[in-house]
Chain A
């Protein structure tokens, strides 16, 4: 699905990612954990193609294509989805209109005709249920006046509508209460197939109780310093990040 090799990236001349290596295969869920400032969000933004981030070295292959060579919208149309840590408000643009535009842009890219209104509405109904999103929110402006939990559920709703090959969930659990966390996790688990993949970025183990990863990676100071299975997350939860920091501090200096 995606192969990241020796990825270096900087913001305003400051190197944040210092050589990331990661391979996510079809049907796998990878969790990336790490303390604040370790580069988790930078990684997701670089993969999605945000302009402020400069890739200085390395390569990323997405379904056999050079991901870094694509514009952000092309990456999206190729099937990469980023669930934002802080979803953005777009006043005056209804959620439904936004999604219809996005979906039809993707279909056009795939050489398909725009979706019939009837089919589109049926799809909206179906996917809304998945994340228990109030039908009214569909007609409201994108994320405007949504609560924190509604915004996160709306991200998963959009993901469900766009049916990506690879979804990156950037701290989707932050700011969610237990119920919302369960709803989001259920949504993801229902959408999970043998053919799509997830990169779940999180601080905490608790999300991984619901979305069970195949692999867990610990990101520290711009590098993946440790990889393992889901047990690694539990270990990390027990010991805290300090242990990791101590262990790898010397290397990073």
Chain B
């Protein structure tokens, strides 16, 4: 009986695994300086940006692919086998939605992302502006005009380069320099698109902003950048979602997200990461190597990362906060689920520089199948960061006995006034808990869902309402069949 359920659900298809049949303009695989130049030319970029890319490319060439430190196992990536640009062929100018390829609109509709503002204005979830990124380009950003009335700039990165070059030049690379790490350098050289968001002084962004990333083309990598600048006293809640088709090959996703929060500003960044995780034998799936970092530049500023990671074959991701301003706050709430042959090495860095800075880390790892799930986190209290506080809680939940959970906390304290607390637990989803739930009339899937959601509650509570519901469903689907 148990095996039957297991079979049934393991064979269940990844729901977002469809492929959109669309004409694309795709670069031949391979990476060299000419590719970087061609990419920049394709996007009609100013010369300073081309210079930046080339600088990053040179830096990348001199760097070594990180191999040993993360608790991950995957073959060496052949960077010459990847195409660095793929975009749907489009008409010369996209001025209205009517000009967007209907196939693309359909794709996003299918993913539950409506790009038609009218529809969204009346329907549920109307209060979210979306930037939809398809392979290497942004397809459409909704509600730009509405947001502009408040002075909020929300557009694709490429558009921002054209329309607000001074802002991009000023802020890009401020938090994640082009030399930061191997994948960040690669991204700086070949990034194709992404989102840009600027909230002016004193403005509370009137709606949630969201970027939806979709990889479609085969043999390509996705390298996008997101840059969020929250000026003094502003507030924004930002959501990020992502899916990819089900393919036998591994695809590389190496993104960079930078957040800058000035005095009294607050940025809340939520991710539901659902890249294709590969099949049950570990074939295919996305390699997700992402650098996400925010800086609380000003006093009393706050950056909060919330992530629900269920997808990707390999996840390498440490959303971090540099707490430079006095009294600034950094938060990291994470649920990372791995099933089948997935591997995740994820966590955060909290760098305390300012006085009275506070950080909270709540990490919930769930491992099932044959997967490996690691938490890796750094709490660093620099000299002069008086009265810094950190609280970290890292919990691991194991389902079955073929999976692994690992915790690698690093704590560096250079100021005696710091108070740092670290708690860690590892538990197994109990046969007893399951039986107890079943005895009250819940079937296995319901019982697992209930127990897992209970375990992740502190993190799910931090997600915006609609996202939380989505995340709960996703958790249930990701773990279906993990208990026989």
Give chain A's interface residues, CB within 8 Å of chain B.
48-52, 71-73, 75-77, 81-82, 84, 87-93, 97-98, 101-102, 105-106, 109, 141, 158, 162
B454 x A102 contact (CB < 8 A): no
Residues of A within 8 A of B431 (CB): 51-52
Partner of A90, one of B2, B446, B450, B458: B450
Whose C-beta in chain B lies nearest to the C-beta of A84?
Answer: B436
Given A51-B431, A84-B436, A88-B436, decide whether A73 and B443 contact each other with a Cβ distance below 8 A. yes
**Which B residues from 423 to 449 make CB contacts under 8 A with A?**
430-433, 435-444, 446-447
Give chain B's interface residues, CB within 8 Å of chain A.
1-2, 430-433, 435-444, 446-447, 450-451, 453-458
B440 x A98 contact (CB < 8 A): yes
Q: How far is the CA of A68 from the CA of B446 in the complex (A)?
A: 22
Main secondary structure of the interface of B (DSSP, over half): helix
Q: How far is the CA of A98 from the CA of B449 in the complex (A)?
A: 12
Q: How far is the CA of A109 from the CA of B443 in the complex (A)?
A: 11
Given A88-B430, A90-B433, decide whether A162 and B440 contact each other with a Cβ distance below 8 A. yes
B435 x A76 contact (CB < 8 A): no
B451 x A93 contact (CB < 8 A): yes
Given A84-B436, A105-B446, decide whether A90 and B441 contact each other with a Cβ distance below 8 A. no
Q: How far is the CA of A162 from the CA of B457 in the complex (A)?
A: 26
Given A71-B1, A91-B455, decide whether A76 and B450 contact each other with a Cβ distance below 8 A. no
What are 8 A-B interface contacts by the 8 Å CB criterion? A49-B438, A51-B2, A73-B438, A81-B439, A90-B437, A92-B455, A98-B450, A162-B441
Q: How far is the CA of A75 from the CA of B440 in the complex (A)?
A: 9
Given A71-B1, A73-B441, decide whether A101 and B435 contact each other with a Cβ distance below 8 A. no
B442 x A73 contact (CB < 8 A): yes
Question: Smallest distance from the beta carbon of B442 to chain A beta carbons, Å?
Answer: 6
Given A88-B430, A101-B446, decide whether A71 and B454 contact each other with a Cβ distance below 8 A. no
B440 x A90 contact (CB < 8 A): no
Question: Smallest distance from the beta carbon of B212 to chain A beta carbons, Å?
Answer: 29
Residues of A within 8 A of B442 (CB): 73, 101-102, 105
Partner of A76, one of B1, B441, B444, B458: B441
Q: How far is the CA of A243 from the CA of B435 in the complex (A)?
A: 36
Q: How far is the CA of A88 from the CA of B430 in the complex (A)?
A: 9
Question: Smallest distance from the beta carbon of B479 to chain A beta carbons, Å?
Answer: 15
Residues of A within 8 A of B456 (CB): 92
Question: Smallest distance from the beta carbon of A219 to chain B beta carbons, Å?
Answer: 21
Whose C-beta in chain A lies nearest to the C-beta of B450?
Answer: A93
B440 x A158 contact (CB < 8 A): yes
Residues of A within 8 A of B451 (CB): 90, 93
Residues of A within 8 A of B444 (CB): 73
Residues of A within 8 A of B437 (CB): 90, 98
Given A93-B451, A98-B450, A105-B446, decide whether A88 and B433 contact each other with a Cβ distance below 8 A. yes
Given A71-B1, A90-B433, A105-B446, decide whether A48 and B453 contact each other with a Cβ distance below 8 A. no
Residues of A within 8 A of B439 (CB): 48-49, 72-73, 75-76, 81-82, 84
Whose C-beta in chain A lies nearest to the C-beta of B5?
Answer: A71
Partner of A72, one of B433, B438, B446: B438
Whose C-beta in chain A lies nearest to the C-beta of B436?
Answer: A88
Residues of B within 8 A of A106 (CB): 441
Name which of A51, A81, A84, A162 has the most chain B CB atoms within 10 A of its CB: A51
Partner of B453, one of A49, A50, A77, A92: A92
Given A71-B1, A71-B438, A72-B435, decide whether A92 and B457 contact each other with a Cβ distance below 8 A. yes
Whose C-beta in chain B lies nearest to the C-beta of A77?
Answer: B441
Question: Smallest distance from the beta carbon of A146 to chain B beta carbons, Å?
Answer: 14
B454 x A141 contact (CB < 8 A): yes
Q: How far is the CA of A82 from the CA of B437 in the complex (A)?
A: 11
Residues of B within 8 A of A71 (CB): 1, 438, 443
Residues of B within 8 A of A109 (CB): 441
Residues of B within 8 A of A84 (CB): 436, 439
Residues of B within 8 A of A51 (CB): 2, 431, 435
Question: Smallest distance from the beta carbon of A95 to chain B beta carbons, Å?
Answer: 11
